[in-house]
């Protein structure tokens, strides 16, 4: 059985992952040289934990994981409620502290919610694929999605919440949702965006949007990070300034250079060629994730794979976009490259699920 799984696995996904991790380790080495490589050492520890979890995830049948997803969903909701009562870090109550390390439940919630939604959508469609378009049943799916998203917004962590939204949209599209629902949702977004901006978003979130539109409004405070990031990206030119030689990076102007703005560090010190190569790796990785969804043996596997593709797509676009000043800053890490234990482990589990599904695939299930 294991040989059959390994024979069918989409190995290109693993190759892209390994290359991205390698670039991340090199970038973190440069970013942490003035802090005794503390975050680099922690990242290596997280990596050593992530690899066994990746292997285990490949060989546990994803149908088993989906069957227990309702239990996991309940557990993660409890954790998302519990984290709201912890002390704030950088203005957000998103972490549980465990000794010298911290644990972010929202990162693992992404995986669990995708699994649970795959379970729920499959259950609903067991009586017919079009069952998902019945108002009450679609409403049930939306509620299952909205509860954890609401709790994450309460932290507040708008970036991670948006990752859930993109994954959810990808999954509904794969599930065959009718066009009228998509059009209605788009119209609702157009109406709600200004309402949210003026009446719902807290001041710091409004400030991020205003500064995104014009960083020079507050160049020494709210606009400082994005200005320094754009300077770093531009100064790298074609081949970069060289490892450990970036002006914005090594002189302390770029912050936080190990997480949110690590792509700016890479662009400055390694140049456009390496930065473009990273984007290409993500495009290949996401494309292969979509291909796994199209060739999965059943709807359940397809929904999981396309949900993961949505998460990776959003993280890549948002992180790189905010680094270059094209999108608002949301604190979204760059998968496999940015520092962060919870992020690294959850990303490796998602890759394990993609390899798991690809190893058991038989035929395409997407509706033309």
Total count of residues recorded for the chain: 368
Q: Of 62, 49, 22, which is closest to residue 358 (Cα–Cα)?
A: 62
For residue 363, what pLDDT is reported? 47
Indicate the range of 2-11, 111-120, 142-151, 173-182 predicted with least confidence.
Answer: 2-11
How many Å is the Cα radius of gyration of the chain? 21
Q: Give pLDDT tens digits for 92-141.
A: 778 787 766 778 999 999 999 999 999 999 999 988 888 888 989 999 99
Give the Å distances, CA to CA, from 69 to 11, 63, 124.
26, 10, 15
Domain map (residue ranges) of the chain: 2-359
- How far, in whole angstroms, is CA 173 from its chain's centroid? 19
Alpha carbon distance 294, 174 (integer Å): 9
The Cα diameter of the chain in Å comes to 62
- For residue 3, give Cα distances in angstroms to 64, 358, 359: 19, 13, 9
Task: Say whether 101 sits in a helix, a strand or coil.
Answer: strand
DSSP 3-state assignment of 117? Answer: helix
pLDDT at 59 over 80: yes
Q: Do 312 and 282 contact (CB within 8 A), yes or no?
A: yes
Report the C-alpha gap between 76 and 221 in whole angstroms. Answer: 36
The dihedral through the CA atoms of 301, 302, 303, 304 has a sign that is: positive
Return the structure tokens found at 66.
Answer: 């989906």
CA distance 148 to 77: 6
Question: Which class for 332: exposed (0-12), middle (13-18), buried (19 or more C-beta within 10 A)?
Answer: buried
Is the pLDDT at 319 greater than 90, yes or no?
yes
Half-sphere CA count of 83, side-chain side, radius 13 A:
29
At residue 50, does pLDDT exceed 70? yes
Provide the total of helices (H) and of strands (E) in the chain, helices listed first. 15, 2
Tokens of 106: 């929202």
pLDDT, residue 100, reads 67
Least confidently predicted of 70-74, 143-147, 217-221, 324-328: 217-221
């Amino acid at each position: 059985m294991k040989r059959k799984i390994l024979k069918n696995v989409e190995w290109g996904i693993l190759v892209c992952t390994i290359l991205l991790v390698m670039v991340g380790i090199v970038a973190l080495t440069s970013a942490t040289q003035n802090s005794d490589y503390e975050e680099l050492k922690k990242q290596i520890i997280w990596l050593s934990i992530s690899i066994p979890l990746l292997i285990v995830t490949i060989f546990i049948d994803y149908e088993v994981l989906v069957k227990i997803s309702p239990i996991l969903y309940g557990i993660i909701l409890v954790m998302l409620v519990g984290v709201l009562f912890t002390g704030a870090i950088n203005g957000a109550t998103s972490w549980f502290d465990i000794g010298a390390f911290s644990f972010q439940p929202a990162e693992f919630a992404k995986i669990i919610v995708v699994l649970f939604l795959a379970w729920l959508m499959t259950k609903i469609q067991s009586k017919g694929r079009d069952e998902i378009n019945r108002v009450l049943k679609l409403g049930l799916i939306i509620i299952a999605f909205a509860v954890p998203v609401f709790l994450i917004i309460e932290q507040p962590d708008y970036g991670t919440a948006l990752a859930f939204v993109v994954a959810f949209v990808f999954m509904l599209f794969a599930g065959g949702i009718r066009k009228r629902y998509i059009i209605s949702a788009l119209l609702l977004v157009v109406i709600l965006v200004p309402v949210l901006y003026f009446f719902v978003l807290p001041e710091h979130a409004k400030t991020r949007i205003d500064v995104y539109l014009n960083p020079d409004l507050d160049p020494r405070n709210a606009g400082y990070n994005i200005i320094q990031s754009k300077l770093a990206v531009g100064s790298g030119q074609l081949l970069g300034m060289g490892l450990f030689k970036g002006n914005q990076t090594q002189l302390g102007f770029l912050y936080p250079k190990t997480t949110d703005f690590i792509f700016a560090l890479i662009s400055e010190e390694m140049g456009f060629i390496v930065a473009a190569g990273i984007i290409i790796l993500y495009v290949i990785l996401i494309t292969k994730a979509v291909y796994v969804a199209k060739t999965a043996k059943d709807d359940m596997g397809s929904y999981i794979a396309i949900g993961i593709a949505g998460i990776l797509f959003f993280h890549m676009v948002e992180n790189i976009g905010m680094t270059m000043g094209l999108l608002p800053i949301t604190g979204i890490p760059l998968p496999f490259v940015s520092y962060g234990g919870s992020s690294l482990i959850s990303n490796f589990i998602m890759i394990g699920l993609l390899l798991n599904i690809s190893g058991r695939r038989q035929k395409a299930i997407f509706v033309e």
